[in-house]
Structure 1
Amino acid sequence: MRRQIVIMLLGLMTTLSLSAFAIAGSRNTNGHETTRQDFFAYDRRGNLLSTAIGGGMPTAYRWNTESSTLAASLAGGRETASERADSVMTTFYTYEPLVGCTGITRPDGRHTGYDYQGGRLSEITNNRGEPTNSYDYSLYDGNGTNHIRQTTHLDLGQHALITDNYYDGFGAEVNNIQRHHSPSGKDIVTVIGYDAIGRKTEQWLPVPMAGCDGIVTNVGLHTASAQTYSDSHAVMRYQYEPQSGGELTTTIPAGENYYNHPATVQKLCSDPSKAELCCRRFILSGDYKVKAEKNYEAGELDVVLSTDADGRRQWTFIDWRGQKVLDRRDTGSGMADTYYIYDPVGNLRMVLPPAASAVLAAGNGTYDARTDLTLKRYAYVYRYDERLNCVEKRMPGCEPIRYAYDRTGTKVFSQDGNQRQRGVWSFALLDRFGREAVTGECQNPDSVALAKKWVHVDTPDFAARESTLGGSGYRSNVNLGNVRLLTANYYDDYTFISALWPDHNLPLPTTSGLRGLQTGSINAVGNTMDYNTTQVTMMKGA
């Protein structure tokens, strides 16, 4: 089906006919496409009817023609008469005009209902119409308070957890009271205090109290808190810069022992003339090389100096993009620096722990992570492909782990150093709906075809099990050599039980309400998937 677009420009009418068009995507610094989302069709009101990301599974939408609210989303595309009923996962939605969503029905048939009073959510119900959560709102009630009561129903209304949140006239939460939550049946009360411009200045530790009716102040809480904790300072305190909008500078932890030992935060800038504020600049050269250059200039980096309650200091250096480039800690006998090195698009490429940064920051040369002994022993190294997927990760002292992705950006294969010596790769294949279906090891995956395909497995077909992956019933749309299956997961029904073990005498659970749910899994015992000794787990539906 082709779409026609009519464009009016300076009184001239032009008609474009498009079968599919992408209006969302991004490219890296070399101009290669990194992500793509195709939008295939719209209705006459401009509502999106179908879309797909990276050529993967399409998602279709149905809309209420009167209000243009979403009526259903169909993962897997449009369901037609020629398609099987299980070709899509459909979620239905209902709405009340000018109020909101009143119901969601998931693919397994379970329904969640939402009721409103005065335009505010009042109750959430489960598939049987029983309330699971309810909300009561009181605006300036008899006690002169504003509060919301949330009730979480545990079983058919017999038991419930009740929480009251009280608010001041500006909408700031001042009390959180959990009704009858303590072992003795008392309320558990948390009190929060603010300054004149609405910044939180204190938060008391939870205290069990009896007979709480209305707002509890810190004055009323003080005695109960001291008795509960045997401590006169069971409260967190916060201090800010004096001006309006000033940032947090001091946090005083709860407890008498910490009262005179606050945790503080200071905002500074880089300064190459001061050892504590000096930061070395590292520049990447290719995928593996890094060059130590001159220090950052004064004021080029933001620095946050944090001092904890024990007096331990930490400096965090942040660049103009908001990325941390250096974490410096005072060990008492010196400084321990951890550098973070990024590429021009902001991907983390190297992490230099103290053992590595002490060597590289003292030099002026170019270091190659493939050959430099210091980097091989201590550094973390990451490499990315043209679509900005991480294709290689190397931990300190280890061989690199390599990854391969399909067209949608889903990681399909991985290989560590030990597997490289054996000539095998780990794989994890998803089904059409993005659920993990099978994992295992294989040889010589087709990496060229991988980058051009949306890799997935089809619905299990047990007619010719010997030709499926490890006899699991799953077939992949990419070639795998010498497959060794480790796990297989099954969804939506229990047909796999009878297909794999025709003579079983297992009492199968109900077959209703399973759509979209995992129903079982099998795991290899030892190095092979022997269906006579494999481990089986079955999940129960509704």
Structure 2
Amino acid sequence: MKRLYFIISLLFVINSLFSQESSQNYVLTRTFLNESGTKYIDNIQYFDGLGRPIQTVQKGVTPNRSNLVTLQEYDGFGRATKSWLPHVSTSSYLDPVSFKSAVPGTYNGDSRPYDETVYEDSPLNRVVKQYGPGASWGTHPVSTSYLTNDDSKELVCKYYYVTSTDSLAQDKVYPARELYVAKSTDEDGNVSYLFTDKLGRQLLSRQMLNATPYDTYYVYDDFDNLRFVLPPGYQDTDSLSLFAYQYKYDEYGRCIEKTLPGCEVVKYVYDKADNLIFSQDGVQRKKGEWTFYLYDLFHRLVMRGICTNTNTSLVKSQIVKTQLARNSSTRMILAAGIGDTGYSSSFGISSPVLHTVNYYDDYTFLNLSGFSGKEGGSVNAKGLLTGNITFDLDGYTSYCTVSHYDTHGRVTKVISDNAMRGTETTTTSYTFTGKPLVVEYSHVARSVSPPLFSHIETYRYTYDHAERLTKVTHQLDEDPSVVLSENAYDELGRLQSKRFHGNSNLTTNYSYNIRNWVTKISGNSFKQSLYYDSNDGGSPACFNGNVSVMEWRVGTTASQRYDFSYDALNRLLSADYSSFQLAVTGNFPNFSERVLEYDKQGNIRRLQRYGKDSHFSSIQGPPKYTYPRVDDLTLNYRGNQLINVSDAGIDPLASGSFNYIDLHDDGSDDFAYDANGNLTKDLDKDINSISYNCLNLPEEISFTDNGNPRSISYSYDANGLKLSAEHVITDFTLTPMSSLSVQGNMSTSSPTRHFIKTFYGGNVIYKSNNTIYGDKWSSPKTRIERILTEEGYITLDGEDHEYHYYLKDHLGNIRVVMNQDGETIEQSNNYYPFGGIFESTGDGEQPYKFGGKEFDPMHGLNWCDFGNRYLRNDGPGWMSIDPLCEKYYSISPYVYCNNNPVNCIDPDGRDWYQNNTTGAYYWQEGHEPIDGYTYIGPEVSIQLGQNSYFNAYQNAGVVANKAVSAFDLIYSSGKLQNQFLGKDSPLSENSKSELFNGLVNREVNELGLELGQRLLYAEAILSGIGSVGSIGRLGNLLFKNMTKGGKTAFFKGAKYSNKVVSQMKKADDIVHSFPKSVDGYATKFGQWSIKIGADGKVYQWLEMPGSYGGKTGVFEYIKDANGIINHRYFKIP
């Protein structure tokens, strides 16, 4: 009996150790967090008798080490119906009844803590309604109806086609019931239609504004190439040059010409290996210039620059080879070839001006000029970028970079030159799971006063047991470390509070609704409340994610408020301001901003603003304030380009008031643009010319002289990184004149010119001020202005330094700048929705304002530098065309955030980022750090609901029932490779190149990713995720009509060849009659590779040496995207 008792006890202990319900079917997944295996996270997934996942338990992941439990329900047909939100529990398994009764307590008693999907009554199992979590959304689903076209206003579709002469034509409309139509209605009743043909091609996207359709048509040629995109504006004014996106292709399906709205054609030239070798935009064409691109044997970009070739068409008939000159004995790269980089090209490059040069695989380039003093890494870096030279855009000044890696391919050290003739060294150590643990920045500058300045910053990161970031410390040189920020999380893993500098007065708390949308940001110096589905007695409630009311308060000042309204296209119509603080005159302040009219493209046609004006009742008395209409703008466009603004508002006298200044009101054009769509003239700001570099970034801004010379200039490197900004100011000093001067003149004025220059040396900002008085120069001194940190900046005063912290709103706008003492508000900013500042204190303290971006007010410019382009917030709109405009065909490429600046942001660059405050995900291409966001990389998995994950690669992705690597999915599926790498891919060329190189260099014998029969993913790739998107709405807007099907990883075990060719040709000396048994051997044991066909599709390819019929040769195979062998032959040498 004792022995039996002991065995039962032992079994009980073992079961407790693994902590899962033994009576249920389950899979336990353990993710190790350290090398010894003593720290890990367990995830338990339970399945019913049919193998369907019904419950997931994340063990001990909450801050208090409780479990997070989710539940999935199915209907009688096995379709997922209810996905319950996570519930905090100490149990490792909850029966469904207990779970359902307990989970409302996690969400303040909400009766609908689940997503619900409703299907149509048909074998097609199409989704007709989707209810989001929350009782407020119980009567506000996203609905989908499945229709066909007819001749009614909502369902009619014009028939566009491409003629034999490559022109656009229209022939009435499609016959009834010829097209599929999906009608979508969002939570607020906004309606849109998607028309597709029987080939699955999208022909028309229609949004309804009341009874007015906003139509975007897609026109294809006979080869299924997208040739024209006709945005809504084209339906009112059928001008291709003003509104349409136009594309031309060669016989291999490669885009050779692209014309964007309002711009001249961009041309592309490829070699026989499908490499893009030359491109030329409209501005370059006038200069006789091309941009050239050179690649190594693995199709990796090794060189980019500007040239003056006139023979670019000859490249089509050859494969351009780029090789390195090496010392035959040491293998070191020789200073030869183009610009002494070691690279030479088989195709001559005329008068090259280099922009970037890349080196891969090893460090044999270190003997080249510019890399002196930079050491190489000790770990094998095969397949990785090891060196880079980036030039400024004149091609004379170079900045060299060396990158080191660890055995996992993670960057551990980067040594690079900076704009201050010094160096930046970044050294990073990682946790076992790849999160940064210690990051050390070493900065050296030589072009400063004193002549050498250096400092070292050290960031240390601390994570909790679930790998949530809990603390960041910062150390400057040998000074004591400062706790830069401390994060606390609620039991659902959401950021609950953030404290700066270890100071309780610098604590910000966050609250959320059931959908994880931020509802409150509260601290001593800044408070903000956001209302969505509840309006607090103001504007109509919004259920689709739009903010209906925003309240805020700075310090002890009175609360302020905006009530928002939107149209059916989710564009902001009005922001009605209110405050409870009376002005001196007894008037309530009014800083409302209202859009009275948009055009079909989303360009603002009528805009009104209210602001502060001052009046003086006596010379010595204080001003009295009123709040009139300071802007009443009528904006006129040519296509999408603003050409004229007239203002019927008053010009306020109050200091610091914001309004549009109309200096040029004779009715003629105020604005002009170049061939790339960049603004080159703004007479309303007295700007007579703006010049741009080849990256479409402004370089020189010249103002009308008027006896007062002024200018602004910016410099960049070839990657668009701003290196400096210079402002020239001229004033006049009264000087007595000699008695021998002209009779009657007692004095004259001598001009004094100030050259104020800002240098950007990494995260260290320098300032210099040089003055010319007459013909005399002052001695300029360059000093440090500030050192930027992750949470604000540091100012230096001799041996002392002081920390300053940014307090931001839900969009990342900097509202308050606090001193480290937690008591002093050094700067505060209140914004109109489109970015204008209507109230500010401490304006000169620091320049980062709206969107967290640098604001340039000099000479009345009022531009915000967003990195890729500049924003004017008085107009409002962008100065140049959106680099990603082809992902947003239906709106003007000059519109800011689709005219929804209350809910959207437009961060710099274009890659995946997560907002540190809200948890929302954003995508933008590039890898630059963004203040307030955590860089995730090109891949991210985002949970859309129970057992529904969006697995993203760049701006596209795959939906699956689990979080997996999108790259692994692409690697394992030829069909996905077709969609991601083919000509209709939503990825940019850079992203496609990055993906392809990753596939080529991934030489593994086993994929290591068992998808299994239960992994069902969408077969459609997203057309593109915006630079801003609420992931809570992705499921509603982007995953309406997904086709599901089980897939198997047939690329498993494949190795990728380094050789890629553009065409698949059959030679005449091939034997086709060898036995089929060879096919089976090749399929099972062959090392298959990738080829890209002339049709732009991805194929599997195999070359296998062997003998047949007494002859020695090579068996060659080609498989299509479905794994079917469609080409086999035996090639005899």
1:164 correspondence with 2:44: yes
Of the three residues 372, 377, 395, the one matched with 1:509 is 377
SS at match of 2:317: coil
Specify the code of the residue in structure 2 equivalent to 1:299. R
Shift of 1:188: 2.1
Shift of 1:245: 4.0
- Residue 141 of structure 2 corresponds to 262
**Matches of 2:221 and 2:168 in 1, distance apart?**
11
Greater shift after overlay, 517-526 or 153-162? 153-162
Is the contact made by 2:207 and 2:215 (CA closer than 8 Å) also made in structure 1?
yes
Is the contact made by 2:275 and 2:299 (CA closer than 8 Å) also made in structure 1?
no
Percent of counterpart pairs with the same letter? 29
Of the three residues 163, 172, 175, the one matched with 1:294 is 172
**Matches of 1:537 and 1:169 in 2, distance apart?**
56
- Residue 388 of structure 2 corresponds to 521
Shift of 1:318: 0.6
- Residue 237 of structure 1 corresponds to 116
Is the contact made by 1:430 and 1:456 (CA closer than 8 Å) also made in structure 2?
yes
Q: Deviations over 1:247-291 (max 9, x none)?
A: 11111111121110111111111112x111111101212465211
Count of matched residue positions in the alignment of Structure 1 and Structure 2: 385
SS at match of 2:383: coil
SS at match of 2:203: strand
Of the three residues 232, 238, 253, the one matched with 1:388 is 253
Cα distance change on mapping 1:223 and 1:144 into 2, 3 Å: closer
**Matches of 1:339 and 1:500 in 2, distance apart?**
53
SS at match of 2:292: strand
**Matches of 1:229 and 1:425 in 2, distance apart?**
62
Is the contact made by 2:357 and 2:390 (CA closer than 8 Å) also made in structure 1?
yes
Specify the code of the residue in structure 2 equivalent to 1:419. Q
Of the three residues 103, 110, 126, the one matched with 1:247 is 126
Q: Deviations over 1:153-190 (max 9, x none)?
A: 44432332322222211121222222222222222222
**Matches of 2:157 and 2:394 in 1, distance apart?**
51
Is the contact made by 2:26 and 2:44 (CA closer than 8 Å) also made in structure 1?
no
**Matches of 2:164 and 2:183 in 1, distance apart?**
33
Matches of residues 309-388 of structure 1 in structure 2 within 5 Å? 309-332=187-210, 334-360=212-238, 374-388=239-253
Of the three residues 284, 299, 303, the one matched with 1:434 is 299
Of the three residues 84, 87, 97, the one matched with 1:204 is 84
SS at match of 2:188: coil
Is the contact made by 1:280 and 1:294 (CA closer than 8 Å) also made in structure 2?
yes
Of the three residues 284, 287, 290, the one matched with 1:419 is 284
Q: Deviations over 1:390-415 (max 9, x none)?
A: 11111111112111111122222211
Shift of 1:437: 1.1
- Structure 1 unaligned runs (5+)? 1-137, 361-373
1:539 correspondence with 2:417: no
Greater shift after overlay, 285-294 or 393-402? 285-294
1:474 correspondence with 2:350: no
Specify the code of the residue in structure 1 equivalent to 2:150. D
Shift of 1:421: 1.4
Matches of residues 105-124 of structure 1 in structure 2 within 5 Å? none
Greater shift after overlay, 438-447 or 190-199? 438-447
SS at match of 1:451: helix
Greater shift after overlay, 184-193 or 348-357? 184-193
Cα distance change on mapping 1:310 and 1:218 into 2, 3 Å: farther
- Residue 707 of structure 2 corresponds to none
- Residue 181 of structure 1 corresponds to 61
Shift of 1:518: 1.7
- Residue 62 of structure 1 corresponds to none
**Matches of 2:102 and 2:165 in 1, distance apart?**
62
Specify the code of the residue in structure 1 equivalent to 2:142. A
SS at match of 1:166: strand
Cα distance change on mapping 1:447 and 1:505 into 2, 3 Å: closer
- Residue 43 of structure 1 corresponds to none
Cα distance change on mapping 1:378 and 1:486 into 2, 3 Å: same
Is the contact made by 2:333 and 2:364 (CA closer than 8 Å) also made in structure 1?
no
Matches of residues 121-132 of structure 1 in structure 2 within 5 Å? none
CA RMSD of aligned residues (A): 2.4
**Matches of 1:218 and 1:398 in 2, distance apart?**
62
Shift of 1:517: 2.0
Shift of 1:303: 0.7
Is the contact made by 1:232 and 1:255 (CA closer than 8 Å) also made in structure 2?
yes
SS at match of 2:286: helix
- Residue 421 of structure 2 corresponds to none
SS at match of 1:418: helix
Shift of 1:309: 0.9
- Residue 314 of structure 2 corresponds to 449
Cα distance change on mapping 1:336 and 1:501 into 2, 3 Å: closer
Cα distance change on mapping 1:404 and 1:516 into 2, 3 Å: same
**Matches of 1:176 and 1:449 in 2, distance apart?**
60
- Residue 220 of structure 1 corresponds to 99
SS at match of 1:482: coil
Shift of 1:338: 0.7
Cα distance change on mapping 1:154 and 1:393 into 2, 3 Å: farther
Q: Deviations over 1:360-383 (max 9, x none)?
A: 4xxxxxxxxxxxxx2111111111
**Matches of 2:367 and 2:97 in 1, distance apart?**
65
**Matches of 1:464 and 1:260 in 2, distance apart?**
69
Shift of 1:195: 0.8
- Residue 720 of structure 2 corresponds to none
Shift of 1:230: 4.8
Greater shift after overlay, 387-396 or 235-244? 235-244
Greater shift after overlay, 432-441 or 184-193? 184-193
Shift of 1:428: 2.0
- Structure 2 unaligned runs (5+)? 1-17, 408-1133
**Matches of 2:165 and 2:65 in 1, distance apart?**
62
Shift of 1:466: 6.2
Cα distance change on mapping 1:218 and 1:488 into 2, 3 Å: farther
Cα distance change on mapping 1:405 and 1:170 into 2, 3 Å: same
**Matches of 1:344 and 1:152 in 2, distance apart?**
53
**Matches of 1:526 and 1:409 in 2, distance apart?**
27
Is the contact made by 2:374 and 2:402 (CA closer than 8 Å) also made in structure 1?
no
**Matches of 1:154 and 1:193 in 2, distance apart?**
35
Cα distance change on mapping 1:301 and 1:218 into 2, 3 Å: farther
Of the three residues 342, 349, 357, the one matched with 1:488 is 357
Is the contact made by 1:328 and 1:336 (CA closer than 8 Å) also made in structure 2?
yes
1:498 correspondence with 2:367: yes
Q: TM-score, normalised by structure 1?
A: 0.66
**Matches of 2:342 and 2:396 in 1, distance apart?**
13
